[in-house]
Amino acid sequence: MIDIHSHILFNVDDGPGTIEQSIEMLETAANEGIRNIISTSHLYHPQYSVPAKVVKNQVKQLQNEMDQRGIPLSIHLGHEVRLNEKLVGLYESKEIYTLANSRYLLIELPSNTVPHYTKYIIRDLLSVGTTPIIAHPERNRGIAENPKRLESLIRDGAFAQITASSLAGHFGKKVQKLSLELVTNNLVHTYGSDAHNLSTRPFLFRKGLDYLEKQKELDSIQLFLENNRRVLLNQQLVQYEPRYEKKKWWKLF
């Protein structure tokens, strides 16, 4: 399995504090059946911004540790980039890592809103050959209030990534319910752990998939795992027509 969203580098953002903690996280990922993991440290976040050089050096260091220990896990370069109006220029100046050097770029929206200029940045990224994947939309307040906002971004050409721990109920029942609604309305396309540590922000990779299985969302599981594979191989993602149904949402909050 492939995890396209993780914070595994040490002492750089709100992920693990030490190399030992990073290694423990990676061993846990391997034990969950993850064989490829993309390191997506924060970039241009209000509190954290990890330069590309730091990402490259730490990924190499941690990969060496995995190889020496015989742990069957490959680590790939990436960033989780906070949305900003200079994003395209920063991408063109090669200050940003896409996901595993693919055409896909993991974008983080502000927690409480979907800025009005988001659609323009999506279109500008697409114009330079880069496809944005919106990280954890189920935890964005603006999308929770009106999921039509996410549908609009998808119709503009973006994709979205659902988080394993959200589906597993780690962030509460409301986020879990919204996560399932996004899944059933074809508003998410990829799957990631967004793991930061092994205590408060663990992987829960299999637990999220187990929840989808209990909800009879077997096609969604297949879609997410296939699209994660396609991200790694830089192939076109599979996408179904979003079927937003307003009547489902008003009871959530």
What is the count of structural domains for the chain?
A: 1
Predicted local confidence at residue 253, as pLDDT:
30
- Give me the domain span that covers residue 12: 2-248
Spans of the chain, pLDDT less than 70: 243-253
Question: Which of 17, 36, 16 has its CA nearest to residue 25?
Answer: 16
Q: Which residues pair with 38 in a beta bridge?
A: 76
Structure tokens at 35: 């064989």
Residue 240 lies in a domain: yes
Residue 161 lies in a domain: yes
Predicted local confidence at residue 252, as pLDDT:
36
Residue 253 lies in a domain: no
Q: Say if residues 150 and 143 touch (Cβ distance below 8 Å).
A: yes
Residue 91 lies in a domain: yes
107-133 confidence digits (pLDDT tens): 999 999 999 999 999 999 999 999 999
Burial code (b: 16+ CB inside 10 Å, e: under 16) for 149-169 equals: bbbbbbeeebbbbbbbbbbbb
Distance between CA atoms of residues 183 and 185, nearest Å: 5
Q: Hey, how many other C-beta atoms are within 10 angstroms of the C-beta on 45?
A: 16
Distance between CA atoms of residues 176 and 139, nearest Å: 10
Residue 226 lies in a domain: yes
Residue 241 lies in a domain: yes
What CATH code is carried by the domain that includes residue 46? 3.20.20.140
pTM of the model: 0.93
Q: Is 242 exposed, middle or buried (0-12, 13-18, 19+ CB in 10 A)?
A: middle
